[in-house]
A and B are shown apart, each in its own frame.
Chain A
Amino acid sequence: MRHTIRLMSIALLLLTWPLAAGAQQRPSQQPAPEQVPEARPAAGEGAAATTPETTGSIDIGGRFTNVDGDAARYERFRDLRSGSWSRLTFDKKNESYLFGAKAQNIGYRDQMFSADYEGGKGWLTGSFVSTPLNYSYISTTPWIEQSSGHLTLDLAARQLVQAGTVVGIPQNAAQLNTPSIYRGLAAPFTLQHLRQTGAASGVYEFNRDTSFAGGFSSTKREGHQPWGASFAFNVANEVPLGIDSRTNDANAALEWTKTRGMFRVGWNGSWYNNHINALTWDNAFRATSADPFDPNGYSNGNGSSIGRMSVPPDNLLNSFNAMAMYKLQPRTVLNGSVAFTRMSQNDPLIPWTINPVLQTSAIYAAFPGLANLPRATAEAKVDGLNAVLNFSTRPTQFWGITARYRYNNHDNKTLPFNGVEYVRFDAVPEETGGISEQFDIVENLADVNVHFNVLPYSTLRVGYGFDSFDRTGRSFSNMTDNTARVSLDTVGNQHVTIRALYEFTRRVGSGFSEDAIEEGGSQPGLRFYDEANRDRHRGTLMFIVNPLDVMDVTFSLATGSDSYGGPGHEFGLLDNDNQAYNAGVNVYPSDNVNLGFNYGREHFKSNQKSRNANPPPDPQFTDPNRDWLLDNIENVNNVNLFADFPKLARKTTARVTYDYSDSDNAFNFSGPRILSLAAAGQFLPLPNYTNSWHRLGTDVQYFFVPRVGVGVDYWFERMNVRDFNTLNLPGTETPRTDYLGEISTGYGSRPYTGNTAFVRLIYLF
């Protein structure tokens, strides 16, 4: 009987599987995730019988925003200040050309403009996009920006701190009870920056076979960002670094296409220009530099009164590339590309230190390398060569082969820089540095896949991949990935779409150098996870089922695991696992109603091992009782709901969306070192890092006449977050900027509740 049931089940599967033929896969009916009020005339209300040549919309009104909590986080990449709202569109389409133009949120920090033209000999597109990044509206800082890249602190305050008469940067738990003098001096400011990009690109076709493509864009960034600028282990500073840069990009290509193939040559250029050459900032711990210098100044704060660090240098990229494609018969295509790239920068180098105490003949006598720089400019460059060749053939309806080869050479030609003698934290001259190391990478990748159309509209694919990296400056001179994969895709079924993939990759390193590990003072058993031996499993499964014409159900699963191992591997990342499930249903019973729901859950887990020890010859370094492990587990839930009513009532449309995402991130310590710390009363588990985010959007539009209507939108967002990384004054949501060992800006992860309402007048033409 069991045998009968088994055979019937197999028969049923074989019978239904071939039914995977017919309608193409239908996208899930999820609403557009981005929230932008759009004009949507009610369905069937006087719609034009034919497509008009000129159409557009004028959508203007008011926006009203109220935020409780972290308003910057609510806005983040948007400008939702109360004020006006605008969205304008214009389209003109006929048999000769297509033209479209859009403008949105005009006059605000996230405004966007675009225009596109296509017709005749080619197309042209232009855009201007402004993207804010709002870090914090409640930041404070005692530093004063005298000029771009130059920050100063109140001298009298620094003198008091240096004298030890006031708390500057809290050094112990007791000092936390006394506000830092810098808390009183800190002025509030808005920590944000703005990225604005203007771009234009187009294609001109000389004739059917030959065309030219070109483009140019210019991106300006200005504002501030949080930046670490410190003087010692116990004198850390987060300051607002000024941003004032521009990146210009240009590209041009000539393309020639015939019946059997195409050939294209092109060039890309990119210039990054930073108008701020260095950062200098005053030390909150010292008004004068320690003289003579303190050999422990990098850890106890007895260092320089002023610091200087480099900022991103001007750089240049040029790439010359060619691409070709050739169609052989039957159903065989060969295509590929080759690119030569050079990246370079030659900015003047800042001196070893800004500390005047360390710029004396006595210092140079002891550290002759600090008397002069080995060279005045960076002289940094990297040459790249990339070549890709793809071969695809389907000789019959039943099988085919795809093969790919990729060669990539990242050749760093920057001249070595002798930094054996250097200055740590502008505080202490040392000779524990080294010669700069430039990392070359040569990759050879070969991949072959064979597919079989074993059943109607089902394709079984098996493949093998070989990926080899030769590297310099790493602990393994080579690592090789061998990958085996199998996938099954059943598509085109009116009722069922199934996609499944399993992939296994084994990475093995060769040419291991323990010296490379130990030169950096690392434990000999450490392996860096981006090059360590590893077994990787990846699997995905997706079903889309359409049991009824008005409904589809989707289920997907993605799972993966990485296990790191190999001879002698004891420390570092040991393994990580992840699973993601999604289940959704969309129902569209009539033209008047569309409903959708999706739930997703993700689980991430990683395990790493370390040893808390002093360096040799201290026996701690080899003592396994000093080992500790961290098991990091994160669980994430996602919910998406939408209800769309194209005809809620006469002349009325409505839409409701709800999105939810949360995270629970746990840090579980274990191992003998943890036990000993706990026994000494010196271990407290870190609380889970948690957040939850709700977003509700509603949109109701009423059209008095087919062309004129009003719209009312309401957005609600709530973010709850608890992050041990973010510190507030006790019992408040006010940032604590003076904490143990640091003065910061107060930027962090804080909750908010945001409400934004739109009232709009809509005109369609």
Chain B
Amino acid sequence: MANRFTVRVGLASAVAVMVLAAGSSAEAQKLKPFAGHAGLQAQAQSAQQTPPAGNANVYVGEATCLTCHDNHYAGTAHGLKSNPRTPAAQMGCESCHGPGKAHVDGEGDVTKIRNFLTMKPQEASQYCVSCHDRGTHALWTGSQHDQRNVGCITCHSVHAPKGDHQLKAASEMQMCATCHQNIVNKQHRFQHMPVREGQLTCSSCHNVHGSQNLRLLKVGTTIDEACASCHAEKRGPYLWEHAPVANACTTCHDPHGSNNDRMLVAKQPFLCQRCHVTSRHPPTVYEGFLLNNSTNANKIFGRSCTVCHQQLHGSNAPSGQFFLR
């Protein structure tokens, strides 16, 4: 009895899965391969809103769309008719949503028009990158976000943006916090970059659309180059270099925020003592007794190790090998 019931449930589940999968597959097969830039160019033979000759039976023109829908992209970059590359200068709504005649003839049948909200993120993105395939977006395809099924309309809204750059949230931090909440939380740490004060934002350092650098950093080709684009005094190169600095700033610093001084990943002197296990003062146990009784206290309070080794990012002094000068 139990076994027959189990088998029936299992079969029903399998059938349900197959039906759903087949339905999706069928839906997927209806989607045409993206036409890319050529597709839009083919669709927009002129900058006029009227359907091009030869395609009169599939395009209806934006005026027809506006009989039922509000013009939500007026006042945005997509609505600039002065730019021949924009939807407004080409086929209007149908530049992105595809030919509308079947949708109109079907009395608004939503299955007969390209609806981005029902598409897979990567499928939807293909239409965006048919135009947004240059400049800061050139490296989008295959980038970290694209690989994780984060599409253009995951973050952007063409018709109902809430923030700058047509984001679906009021600010970049709010948008990024959707997935990176633990990173955004770091802005509330004792030591932080001026993000929560509004002087910087996520895109001040990162190009979320793809980058030639690590970690989607938008400037330079190494972590150090990116940081030194603002902190140019650290760029060097120096006469005497400090090995972990040449490796990456993030060896010692957490750029998103830290409770330790100077956004270090650990408190001094203990951070330095992770690598400086020599003799004499570097591996000394710096604790409360020394803090209260010895001049070695200056390795614990205040600037700690860097009160003497100030030049730890590199020294240009001939006597600067140990970053004292």
Contacts and interface: CB of A to CB of B under 8 A. Distances in A.
B43 interface: no
Interface stretch (B54-62, B95-103, B132-140): B132-140
Contacts of A335: 138-139, 141-142, 210
Nearest to A323: B138
B139 A558 contact: no
Interface string A3-24: 1100110110011001001111
A459 interface: yes
B317 A612 contact: no
A677 B212 CA distance: 52
Most buried by B among A112, A270, A748: A270
B222 to A, nearest CB: 6
Given A323-B139, A742-B302, A22 B277 contact: no
Interface stretch (A57-65, A324-332, A705-713): A324-332
Contacts of B277: 522-523, 526, 571-572, 609-611
Nearest to A385: B221
A96 interface: yes
Given A4-B6, A31-B170, A339-B212, A492 B121 contact: yes
B147 A34 contact: no
A341 B318 contact: no
B64 interface: no
B229 interface: yes
A84 interface: no
Interface in B274-323: 274-281, 283-285, 287-289, 291-298, 300-304, 306-311, 315-322
A11 B266 contact: no
A147 interface: no
Interface residues of B, number: 159
B237 A382 contact: yes
B66 interface: no
Interface in A383-441: 384, 386, 388, 390-392, 394, 397, 402-404, 408, 410, 412, 414, 417, 419, 422-426, 433-434, 436-439, 441
A208 B225 CA distance: 33
B126 to A, nearest CB: 7
B91 interface: no
B236 A315 contact: yes
Contacts of B126: 331
Contacts of A11: 9-10, 12-13, 16
Contact of B174 (A18, A32, A228): A32
Contacts of B45: none
B74 to A, nearest CB: 6
A672 B35 CA distance: 71
Contact of A436 (B24, B239, B246, B283): B239
Contacts of B67: none
A392 B146 contact: yes
Contacts of A237: 307
A272 B20 contact: no
B84 interface: yes
A755 interface: no
B80 A97 contact: yes
Contacts of B309: 228
Contacts of B84: 208
Nearest to A354: B325
Contacts of B10: 7, 11
B110 interface: no
A341 B213 CA distance: 13
Nearest to A15: B16
A580 B239 contact: no
Contacts of B173: 32-34
B247 A739 contact: no
Nearest to B193: A77
Contacts of A756: none
B243 interface: yes
Interface residues of A, number: 232
Contacts of A78: 197
Interface stretch (A155-163, A288-296, A662-670): A662-670
A337 B212 contact: yes
B178 A28 contact: yes
Contacts of A608: 270, 273-274
Most buried by A among B150, B229, B233: B233
A732 interface: no
B288 A686 contact: yes
Given A349-B239, A521-B278, A582-B185, A341 B289 contact: no
B172 to A, nearest CB: 9
B112 interface: no
A286 interface: no
A234 B143 CA distance: 53
Contacts of B240: 417, 419, 436
B135 A129 contact: no
Contact of A96 (B81, B153, B276): B81
Interface string A301-338: 00000011110110101010101010101110101010
Contacts of B212: 321, 323, 337, 339, 386, 388
Given A24-B121, A394-B122, A333 B141 contact: yes
Contacts of B267: 632, 665, 667, 689, 725
A661 interface: yes
Most buried by A among B75, B121, B151, B294: B75
A402 B142 contact: yes
B259 A665 contact: yes
B232 A689 contact: no
A24 B270 contact: no
Contacts of B83: 118-121, 205
Contacts of A14: 13, 16-17
Interface in B174-217: 174-175, 177-179, 181-182, 184-185, 187-190, 194-199, 210, 212-213
Interface in A606-648: 606, 608-615, 618, 620-621, 628, 630, 632, 634, 636, 638
Given A349-B239, A598-B181, A30 B24 contact: no
A33 B317 CA distance: 43
B2 interface: yes
Interface in A192-244: 203, 205, 208, 211, 213, 219, 226-230, 233-234, 236-238
Interface string B233-250: 111111111011011100
From B119, B121, B322, B325, name the one whose CB has the most chain A CB atoms within 10 angstroms: B325
Interface string B20-35: 1101110011010110
B85 interface: yes
A577 interface: no
Contact of B243 (A439, A744, A747): A439
A499 B148 contact: yes
A34 B195 contact: yes
A335 B79 CA distance: 29
B188 A412 contact: no
A683 interface: yes
Given A612-B284, A744-B302, A259 B117 contact: no
A573 B24 contact: no
Contact of B80 (A96, A404, A414, A742): A96
6 contacts: A14-B17, A30-B174, A313-B238, A315-B232, A456-B20, A749-B190
Closest 8 A/B residue pairs (Cβ): A684-B288, A741-B295, A11-B13, A392-B142, A386-B221, A312-B233, A228-B310, A456-B24
